[in-house]
Amino acid sequence: MDPQQFAQSVQPSPEPPVSHRSTWLFVLVAVLILFVFVVGSVLVFRWFSSSNKQTDVSVEQPVFGNITVGDSRVEILKEDPIPDDRDRDGLTTEQEQQYGTDEYEYDTDGDGLSDLEEVQKYHTDPTNPDTDGDGF
């Protein structure tokens, strides 16, 4: 075999020309794959976004029509219910002196109970914030 024949036998054979039909088929398959991906993505997004919605939302309904309101007058007292009660705790100044409480403080010991409640209802010392000694 001479070198020219050898060179021709080693050279690759020319490829057949690509037809227009196979090009269109490739483009069509690529478009279909892209379409399926986009539609699938939209469906998955809608499914996840609808499953995360709060369904237990209560909204007050507006009221239409006439609304009747009861008597809203406030009666203002012109004089103290107990004339000699400066702190309005229910004890007179004389009783405040008798129990040793402050006549200008509604709750002398600051425990949240009025001086009157401690004396008449709970029978505790109105000057001691912790009458049972438990630290509270």
| pTM of this structure | 0.40
Range of the domain at 25: 21-48
Question: Is residue 8 assigned to a domain?
Answer: no
Tally of structural domains, the chain: 2
Quick check: 106 pLDDT over 60?
yes
Quick check: 80 pLDDT over 60?
no
- The answer to whether 96 and 103 have CB atoms below 8 angstroms apart is yes
Report how far residue 128's alpha carbon sits from residue 109's, in angstroms, rounded to the nearest whole number. Answer: 6
Instruction: Report the range out of 28-32, 73-77, 86-90, 105-109 with the highest average pLDDT.
Output: 28-32
Question: Is residue 92 assigned to a domain?
Answer: yes
What average pLDDT does the chain have?
A: 80
